Amino acid sequence: MGEDTGLRDQQTTGEDRVRMVARQLSEPRTANWIASEAGWSHEPTTRVLERLVEDGILHRDDDGTHTTYYPDYRRQAMQEAMRLRDSGHTVEELTDSIADMKRQIREWGDEFSVESPNQLRGTLADESLDAGEEDRRREIAREWEHLQRRIEIVGFAVREWDFLAPTNNPAEASS
């Protein structure tokens, strides 16, 4: 959580914060983790998460040691693709964005002689690295994974550009 959490907490309810945290999950998390991120107690957080499961916004996984919650990644990707389509960007700008993200990933791969974020994390075992460089590599690995997800979503928006076009006429959508 950042330094701006005090203002955020004053302007939102606990339920609002749980919903915000839950919708931004990039991996399954426990109710305790979500409650901590939202700055709210466990019991009401769990009630909100269960409502989100009932509404189809989240999925619940009871298979592991702890119950975890995660968003419908397909729904998230589709909503983000629609936002990109409606954002005023051109398909050419989005294509350039994909090229820029891929270029950044190639630069990191070349800089560290690795091919994936996990291979970069593996370089942290090098005892000659100082704490600052370890933190930098961890952050780059997280950003690398984020860019990989963005490339998929932006690529989907580009491929489905015509399909994602907003329409005000229901008859046009079904033709």
pLDDT tens column, 2-48: 445 554 445 689 999 999 998 888 789 999 999 999 999 999 999 99
- pLDDT for 175 equals 46
Q: Tens digits of per-residue pLDDT, 121-138?
A: 999 999 999 999 999 999
The answer to whether 121 touches 101, Cβ cutoff 8 Å, is no
Closest CA to 81 of 147, 10, 29, 158: 158
Q: What is the dihedral of CA 84, 154, 98, 108, to 10 degrees?
A: 120
Q: What mean pLDDT is reported for the chain?
A: 88
d(CA 118, CA 46) in angstroms, rounded, equals 32
Examine the pLDDT at 98 and tell me if it is beyond 70.
yes
Amino acid at 84: L
- Collapse the DSSP code of 7 into the 3-class scheme (helix H, G, I; strand E, B; otherwise coil) and give the result: helix
Q: Are 53 and 59 in contact (CB under 8 A)?
A: yes
The arithmetic mean of pLDDT across residues 75-85, rounded, is 89
